[in-house]
Structure 1
């Protein structure tokens, strides 16, 4: 009751800070995982440029693994929260066990699939005879780690579901720091190269698995992971999948852009262009991850106040979040424009790759300050219960607009056309999302904002 009163009466700026900061830290930690890998891989002597290009080829496959991990976790955590809200602890523990079991089964399937189809998949995702070695070395280890990565991810989500988001965030941050320590040891100390980066990442995933498993078995958790509950209960799995389908489709659809982009880059720029795009994407994520965390923080505030018919507070939350996101992304753009070599240098010291990536930053990230509207606008509609509108607007920037644009524009402008496809999509998405928001705020219900 006290928490609900805070959501209803507390100053919006304080609420946004309170709910967003843990989410931002967690998102930054998740982003740092990938950034650390790419940074060390890009600095491997003599092969760094091709190695980071090989890592770029793995992005579609990493997205698929992530889609399973995230969607099943969301499906399980949501159902757990519902049962805890109903004060049905026994059923919540059954859902925890089935979620764990489902993630484990998918992890085993991914591992077995990699044994038989890894090379074929990587060639399909844009690998060449020059980059397949590096992509294979990295993904063979990552796919093996799926056996405990996915179950560990679901348990981390369950920690948030039972009301301990700070611990869940601390786990992610701690393992990220561990990854920062392990990567140079395995890559350079043991001379494992790109495979060493994967080993470091998988060890961190194993630590998360052990840590979360201990928490739910021997720790001070509200729920317990019991052996007799670790099974694929048909009814529970169905309930998990029903909720998981939407985030799975969105993750997969959004991730499909990696596959499309790699294929187009291979045609117009070759292997190094894929490596350059990997660096540019990693740099953009440094500034976009706080916006994703901000979106998670504002979602609870908007949903509660919209449900309480305090529409003005819901609108004010979105407005403040848009201002904050625009400031963050504008500062990000200024930084990358002033010292692009400094940012690209995190991922590579190869001169040719550096030149390609700097040119990519110059063209690809020019509309960065506009992206906040495209990210936060759909979350607003999701928060007020308009799921179909939210899904359409979520897929707009990276799928509905970008995929046809990235096939058409490079035919006219070549490699530069690949770089400018994202800004064109950003502008289109920002305009369309803004139109939807304006229309929403002009509706009869929302006129009471004033």
Structure 2
């Protein structure tokens, strides 16, 4: 395969680009989220609520790391997308090399720090006794693969910026297939229980790393990074990476507080919350994928000066969010009982899941709006604004509402409080995003 790469988003219907790339990105993210979802499903079959709760606690920590990976991947994809939009392929290759150095180095430092402090972190989240020990063991096995999967996700971001939907899909799909194959063998065949799930997940992440590099080598877009080039590119990449990472990290920080609030109601509540979190990831996977899609599309059109098309990116994204959420929420309500049976949810966990599937899931439409506006801010020269909205959502518009909700409604109140602020933040961000696009067009 040659390296001939032309901008792919400067013509044709915007909705078509959104649907095509979201489908491929959604399938890819579905594969990524399925790694954790499948782990939880198989562990639930063991019938120990402590193990499901352990995955819930560990998942909050891993979500922090995963969000960091996504933030770095967004930065690499955004800078490469602009270079491709300007038809500067040599520059795109240099940015890929420099971006990978930054991504791997950051990932290694963070993974090492979290690995060393995992017991303390789990204690802050409210994990105790056997549940805490199991969560710590799970993290100890998975965390060493973090720096490598960060490169895999960044490679997928480059493929999306290049317009290669199939390549980006297979980066994560390859990992999901490995995980699905190894989970039953290691968990049940070798009787490794939670350790088996962790080993399968680590192997899946390494597979994503290997496949991502293989595909970029096929495209002839990999060059050996030079120290001087990395130093020159560092400010360019960091200008997006730092606020993008901070933006993405705000959400897991908020989730950590929610997990700690849920922990006061016992392991069953944490197990139920773990199931809900993974249901959100799988059910609303297209909205997570959309946040990675609109950036390259808007970035290329911004680079080419097509501001009318940038506006259409926003409006068509909103239409997509509304229709998608309507379908998903109806499906969740209809599938509630089969889901409770599949995960063998305890009465307390089942009660929480019903709160989500029968009502609170509809609020996710506002999360989708925030995903899109934050991605546009990051790719249209206003990354600090994106950071502001995410930090506000995860702190001011989460913590007090969760605290009050827990007092009034116990564990279900934690879920209710978590959703309240998302509506205000989404509407505020949407207004600011429209004004920012108008300002860019006036320059």
> How far off is 1:439 after superposition?
6.0
Residue 247, structure 1, aligned to residue 249, structure 2: no
Deviations 1:261-302 (A, max 9, x none): 1111122x1222111111112112223220232344344444
For residues 311 and 74 of structure 2, the distance between their equivalents in structure 1, rounded to whole angstroms, comes to 26
User: Which whole-Å CA distance do the structure 1 matches of 2:116 and 2:336 have between them?
Assistant: 41
CA contact (8 A) 1:149 1:202 kept: no
Q: 1:331 aligns with which of 324, 327, 333?
A: 327
Q: Specify every segment of 5 or more residues in structure 1 that has no aligned partner in the other structure, as ranges.
A: none
> Offset at 1:183?
1.1
Q: Is this contact kept in 2: 1:186–1:197, CA < 8 A?
A: yes
User: What does residue 15 of structure 1 align with?
Assistant: 17
Distance (Å, rounded) in 2 between the aligned partners of 1:136 and 1:260: 18
The match for 1:266 is 263
Tell me if 1:408 matches 2:407: no
Q: Is the 8 A contact 2:79 2:95 kept in 1?
A: yes
Post-superposition shift, 1:398? 3.9
Q: Secondary structure at the match of 2:219?
A: coil
1:381 and 1:354, CA in 2 relative to 1: closer, same or farther beyond 3 A? Answer: same
Query: Cα offset for 1:192?
Result: 0.8
Pick the aligned partner of 2:219 from 196, 218, 221: 221
For residue 132 of structure 1, report the CA deviation from its aligned partner. 0.8
Inter-partner Cα distance in structure 1 for 2:82 and 2:313 = 25
Task: Indicate if the aligned counterparts of 1:38 and 1:55 stay in contact, CA closer than 8 A.
Answer: yes
Which residue of structure 2 aligns with residue 193 of structure 1? Answer: 193
The answer to whether the Cα contact below 8 Å between 1:98 and 1:231 also exists between their aligned partners in 2 is no
Q: Distance in 2 between matches of 1:230 and 1:348?
A: 53
For 1:303 and 1:83, the matched residues in 2 are separated by: 10
Alignment of 1:46-65 (within 5 A): 46-47=47-48, 49-65=49-65
Residue in structure 2 matched with residue 41 of structure 1 by the alignment? 43
Deviations for 1:325-363, whole angstroms, at most 9, x for unmatched residues? Answer: 112112222222233122344434444433343245445
Partners in 2 of 1:107 and 1:383 — Cα distance?
22
Which secondary structure does the structure 2 equivalent of 1:7 belong to? coil
In structure 1, how many angstroms separate the alpha carbons of the residues matched to 2:373 and 2:162? 28
Residue aligning to 1:137: 137
**Taking structure 1 as reference, are residues 395 and 341 closer, same or farther at Cα in structure 2, changes over 3 Å only?**
farther
TM-score normalized by the length of structure 1 = 0.82
The alignment yields a C-alpha RMSD, in angstroms, of 3.6
CA change 1:445–1:206 in 2 (3 A) is closer
TM-score (norm. length: structure 2): 0.83
Q: Is the 8 A contact 2:119 2:136 kept in 1?
A: yes
Greater mean alpha carbon deviation, residues 294-303 or residues 57-66: 294-303
Which residue number in structure 1 is paired with residue 32 of structure 2? Answer: 30
2: distance between equivalents of 1:77 and 1:435?
25
Cα offset, 1:206, TM superposition: 1.9
Match of 1:417 in 2: 413
Q: Greater CA deviation, 145-154 or 173-182?
A: 145-154
Name the CA shift for 1:236/1:374 in 2 (closer, same or farther; >3 Å): closer
Q: Is the 8 A contact 1:102 1:232 kept in 2?
A: no
For 1:161 and 1:345, locate their aligned partners in 2 and report how far apart those are by CA, in whole Å.
41
- Contact kept, 8 Å, 1:307 with 1:384, in 2: the verdict is no
For residues 395 and 120 of structure 1, do their structure 2 counterparts lie closer, same or farther at Cα, with a shift above 3 Å needed? closer
The farther-off stretch of 386-395 and 273-282 is: 386-395
Q: After the TM superposition, which of the residue ranges 346-355 and 330-339 deviates more from structure 2? A: 346-355
**C-alpha contact (below 8 Å) 1:364/1:422 kept by paired residues:** no
**DSSP-derived class of the 1:222 partner:** coil
Aligned length: 438
Q: Secondary structure at the match of 1:58?
A: helix
Counterpart contact for 2:254–2:399, Cα < 8 Å: yes
Moved more, 152-161 or 415-424: 152-161
Q: Within 2, Cα distance between the matches of 1:259 and 1:401?
A: 14
Q: CA deviation at 1:256?
A: 0.3
Show the counterpart of 2:254: 257
CA 112–200 in structure 1, closer or farther in 2 if over 3 Å, else same: same
Larger radius of gyration: 1
Moved more, 412-421 or 391-400: 391-400
Give runs of aligned pairs for residues 106-185 of structure 1, distance below 5 A.
106-110=106-110, 112-113=112-113, 116-146=116-146, 148-160=148-160, 164-185=164-185
